[in-house]
A and B are shown apart, each in its own frame.
Chain A
Amino acid sequence: MSERNRKHLETIKNIALVVLFITTILLLYLVWSKDSGVDFRISSILPIGDEEYQIPSTADVLTADRIVYCTGNSSFMVDENDEAGVYDRAISSLRTLADSASVLVSEITKEQYTEAVSGYKSVQLVYGFHIPFRELQETYNIKRITGSDAIESVRALAFSAAAPESIFVWDSNAQKYYRLLSDKDTVSVEQWLASLTATTDLYYPVGDVLGGDNKNLMPLTLSTNITQIRYEDETGEAGEKIRITMAEALFGENFDFVRRIKDSFGTITYMYGYGQKTFTTTVDGVFEYKTDVSNGSSQGFMGDLTTAIQFVAANGSWDSLNGQRLDFKLTGAEPKTDGRHKGYTFTFGENINDRAVYYTEGSPITVDVLDGQVSYYRRDVVSVASPVDDGQGEAQLPDAANVLALNYNYMYKSLTNTPLSPNTEDAFSYVADAITYISTGYVRVEDDKLLLPAWIIETEPGMFFYFNLMEATPIGNSR
């Protein structure tokens, strides 16, 4: 064979080898993919989408709604952000008390409780929800207090200079009050009060200001430099990418086979199966997820809360979806059941510039946990676009009493669902008796994409009224 022919033959052999090698790989792939019944996904092999996400602890979101300090002469100061760091000290005092050699748990009357927190220097941690007392002890590693089984849940923990060896508990679920009496002093309320410097506005019992017996608190006047804020929905310009990322996270490996429906308003619904699992996104940046839950067992308040916190961290974020740092706290926790499964509905509120943001409808984050599984998740979070300079700077606001005087008719009609008011005095007394708290914060006005500074008036039965901070005109209300 000539040299040329030999070279030619070697080239053919080389090509044949490459072709046969590739054919072998292809045939192996065909056999393997057919027999294994498993689809390969690059994402399941590479660590794409497995980024670490921040999960806050239950203690981070389980803070008191407000801390109320009584100066001892029927005037109060309120700190909604625990600037004095009292929350940790209060839990620590409860732990110290539980470690005492002898602790006596006794039920007291509402009058005795009120006297302890209003007649003396005192500090009261008021929650916006009920925490099962036993789970509170377990969460903070507090030794179980003998006889505390009678305390079903905690709405407020109070410390009074009248009884430094005691901690008082308000169980609003059972409408009962308790005193936990130790054999030694556990708190120094004076010290706590001394460390309070930032909050200076004074609050008084509503009855003392407006007449009547209402012991709930309201300020006489407030000074503030709170200004309007223009907001945007949290997804910003990356809305579609974020929507798809969230949908992929929620549906997992089934995402490629879910039904995607877009209506003429731009609302997109992802649906798996015959509606066992749905995820809806609106053009306003609201996300809503619903799924059927399988049989399981309820994990209790803290277990369900942990599940909710982890779910939000994994499917969205505890910051805004466009990366802005946000501050959330638990604002509501209601037991929930669908007949077969039990759990809780948790609502989380959003704070901007240390002020709570109120919605006339819904909450920033709502999570239902049934039998230890998330069955519902709604996210309607706002992030700051830009502050609006209204040129007012630090301003003296109208008196809270004047806000009520201008609006009690509107409030009375809303509270009683009647178009007509009775005589002026009766309507005013009715509203004054119904007030549970007055504060300031932001109210979301969706049409203008604005967070308006507002008076927030909370009343029985769980109703919130919002009034423009300077003009005291009604903005709206919510339940």
Chain B
Amino acid sequence: MDWSKSKNILIAALLVTNIIIGWFYMDGQWQEKQQLSQSAANAVAYLEDRGLFVDAVVPVGKQKLPVLFLSFLPKEGAGIQASEATSQYKDIPIVAEGMPDSVIATVDVGQTGGRLISASNALLKFAGDISEEELAGGIRVTDIELIYYVDRRGLGGLSGEDTALPTWRIATGDGANVYINAYEE
């Protein structure tokens, strides 16, 4: 058997296979991006029809993220300001609400990444929780951003441990923030 010739054929076959699979993958990515852009545009148009006006750029793209395990200590210790989004994981801000006198001491990453809903889906969820009367008055969305969020209001204590989940933070024209769990159900 001519091994050298066989190798040439195998290399050529694998090369063609990789090009085809790669092309499928890239095409899929591109189509998904187009689809998400289209969905976002449709969602914005639909929401504006209902009285919810989006004055912000709606992020496009889907990703998988794990949870973050945070530990808190009273403020005098070194660490990250907990009540503000000064800590980040993969450029995503971490917000711990209800802990103004504590700092985030450690951040541990969960084992598995979970699929997230798109920003336009989060907007639709947000609109679904608003009554027709409120929408009739007109509501403006000024920003929508993916953050890691944990709400510790009412739990008390300056120290302890908690879990921050990927969350879509929707800022409205009246200065309020609404948080939508970003994990797919």
A261 x B7 contact (CB < 8 A): no
Contact A257/B110 with A10-B7, A13-B8, A263-B157 known, Cβ cut-off 8 Å: yes
Contact A20 B18, beta carbon cutoff 8 Å = yes
Report how many residues on chain A are interfacial, defined by Cβ distance under 8 Å: 31
Chain A hits for B163, CB < 8 A: 258-261
A227-269 CB mask vs B (1 if < 8 Å, else 0) is 0000000000000000000000000000011111111100010
Identity of the chain A residue whose Cβ is nearest the Cβ of B62 in the assembled complex = A34
Contact across chains for B14 and A260 when beta carbons are under 8 A apart: no
**B176 an interface residue at 8 Å Cβ cutoff?**
no
Any B CB within 8 A of the CB of A14:
yes
Within 1-34 of A, Cβ neighbours of B (below 8 Å) are at: 6, 9-10, 13-14, 16-17, 20-21, 23-24, 27-28, 30-31, 34
Across the interface, do A31 and B28 meet the contact criterion of CB distance under 8 Å? yes
Q: Is B21 an interface residue (CB 8 A)?
A: yes
CB pair B7 A13 closer than 8 Å: yes
Residue A35 lies at the interface, judged by CB distance under 8 Å to chain B: yes
Is A39 at the interface (CB under 8 A from chain B)? yes
Do residues A28 and B21 form an inter-chain contact, with CB atoms below 8 A?
yes
Say which residue of A27, A41, A260, A262 sits within 8 Å of B21 (CB atoms). A27
Whether B159 pairs with A13 at a CB distance below 8 angstroms is no
Residues of the B chain whose Cβ atoms lie less than 8 Å from the Cβ of A34? 25, 28
B84 at the interface (CB under 8 A from A): no
Q: Are A257 and B161 in contact (CB under 8 A)?
A: no
Interfacial chain A residues near B41, Cβ < 8 Å: none
Q: Using known A-B contacts A30-B25, A34-B28, determine if residue A262 contacts B4 with beta carbons closer than 8 Å.
A: no
Chain A nearest CB from B73 CB (Å) reads 11
B15 surroundings in chain A (CB, below 8 A)? 20
Pick the contact of B25: A9, A27, A268 (CB < 8 A): A27
Of A6, A14, A256, the most chain B CB neighbours within 10 A belong to A256
Q: Indicate which residue in B7, B24, B110, B157 contacts A14 across the interface (CB closer than 8 Å).
A: B7
A324 to B111 CA separation, bound complex (whole angstroms)? 32
Residue B155 interfacial (CB < 8 Å): yes
Q: Are B28 and A261 in contact (CB under 8 A)?
A: no
Cα separation A256 to B115 with both chains bound (whole Å): 12
Q: Is B126 an interface residue (CB 8 A)?
A: no
A24, B21: Cβ atoms closer than 8 Å: yes
Residue on A nearest B151 in the bound complex, by CB = A259
Mask, B146-185, CB within 8 Å of A = 1, is 0000100001110111110100000000000000010100
**Which residues of B lie under 8 Å from residue A268 when comparing CB positions?**
161
Give the shortest distance, in Å, between B101 (CB) and chain A (any CB): 14
- Does B130 have its Cβ within 8 Å of any Cβ on chain A? no
- Chain B residues with CB below 8 A from A263, complex form: 155-157, 160
The answer for the CA separation of A409 and B25 in the assembled complex, in Å, is 83
**Closest residue to A9 on the B side, CB-wise?**
B4
A260-B162, A263-B160 in contact; A13/B25 too (CB < 8 A)? no
CB distance from B182 to the nearest CB of A (A): 11
Contact status A16-B17, CB under 8 Å? no
Q: List CB contacts (< 8 Å) of B84-133 with chain A.
A: 110-112, 114-115
* Residue numbers in A under 8 Å from B77 (CB-CB): none
- Other than the given A17-B10, A34-B28, 12 more pairs (CB < 8 A) read A17-B11, A20-B14, A24-B14, A27-B21, A31-B24, A31-B28, A35-B28, A256-B111, A258-B163, A262-B162, A268-B161, A273-B181
Lowest 8 A-B CB distances belong to which pairs? A262-B161, A20-B14, A256-B112, A27-B21, A259-B163, A13-B7, A264-B157, A260-B163
- Could you list 9 examples of A-B contacts with CB < 8 Å? A13-B11, A24-B14, A27-B18, A27-B22, A37-B115, A256-B112, A259-B67, A261-B161, A273-B181
